């Protein structure tokens, strides 16, 4: 029998704000400039933290994501702590999926009224997290790096000038016709997975980057 996670996980789940409420809470904080103003952006941001080339302290990425102070981590029972817990749960979920069953990873995309998936908010959230440690992502932002094409679909959906410039540079180079802006290939990297947030149980397997930004996975 596999060992069960510590009780910290169940406590965190009990404290977590429901996702629908979390989105409303984020939208009410727009004037405080959180890195994400909706669930798709938040999901892309967290996915980049999990799949990124460098580990980060939760304080360093959750605080800008939610536009909160570090002291919010010390006060349970507050809306800020409930939001932190919800983000931590999604981080742990993505980390677990990418480490064990990456083909099942499903980004939180919204659909437009015509039913077409809109990947832009998710991609913009992903890039917002990249900007926290952009130097660590530099090899994948280099258009001469063959793996740059794995980020290209994300960059193409971002409005940031630096992201757009990197995307344009890459599109000037010959492209493999098998690559699609809607469904880039997956590749594995020899890196250790991130330990779950607020949970001492580390992941034992390695993480795969999955940038399936065109997945038709909307949520209700």
Residues 18-44: tens digit of each pLDDT: 999 999 999 999 999 999 999 999 999
pLDDT in tens, 175-215: 443 333 333 333 333 334 444 444 322 222 223 343 343 33
Q: What is the model's pLDDT at position 113?
A: 82
Task: Give domain status of residue 219, yes or no.
Answer: no
Task: Give domain status of residue 21, yes or no.
Answer: yes
| 209 close to 174: Cβ distance less than 8 angstroms | no
Task: Give domain status of residue 215, yes or no.
Answer: no
pLDDT in tens, 157-174: 776 555 555 545 444 444
**CA 80 to CA 78: how far, in whole Å?**
5
Q: Which letter, b or e, does each residue of 66-97 get, where b requires 16 or more Cβ atoms within 10 Å of its Cβ?
A: bbbeeebbeeeeeebbbbbbbbbbbbbebbbb
When divided into structural domains, the chain yields a total of 1
Task: Give domain status of residue 220, yes or no.
Answer: no
Task: Give domain status of residue 2, yes or no.
Answer: no
| Full domain range(s) for residue 140 | 8-209
- Please report which confidence band the pLDDT of residue 116 belongs to, taking 50, 70 and 90 as the band edges: confident
């Amino acid at each position: 029998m596999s060992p069960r996670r510590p009780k910290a996980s169940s406590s965190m789940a009990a404290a977590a704000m429901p996702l629908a409420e979390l989105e409303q809470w984020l939208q009410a904080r727009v004037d405080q400039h959180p890195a994400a103003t909706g669930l798709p952006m938040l999901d892309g941001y967290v996915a980049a933290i999990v799949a990124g080339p460098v580990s980060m302290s939760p304080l360093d990425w959750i605080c800008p994501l939610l536009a909160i102070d570090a002291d919010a981590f010390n006060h349970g029972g507050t809306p800020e702590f409930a939001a932190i817990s919800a983000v931590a749960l999604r981080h742990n979920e993505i980390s677990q999926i990418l480490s064990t069953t990456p083909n099942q990873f499903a980004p939180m995309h919204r659909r437009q009224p015509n039913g077409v998936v809109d990947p832009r908010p998710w991609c913009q959230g992903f890039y917002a997290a990249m900007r926290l440690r952009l130097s660590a992502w530099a090899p994948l932002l280099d258009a001469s790096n063959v793996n740059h094409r794995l980020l290209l679909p994300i960059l193409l959906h971002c409005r940031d000038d630096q992201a757009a410039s990197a995307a344009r540079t890459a599109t000037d180079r010959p492209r493999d016709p098998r690559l699609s802006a809607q469904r880039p290939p997956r590749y594995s990297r020899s890196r250790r997975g991130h330990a779950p947030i607020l949970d001492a149980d580390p992941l034992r397997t390695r993480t795969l980057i999955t940038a399936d930004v065109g997945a038709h996975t909307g949520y209700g």
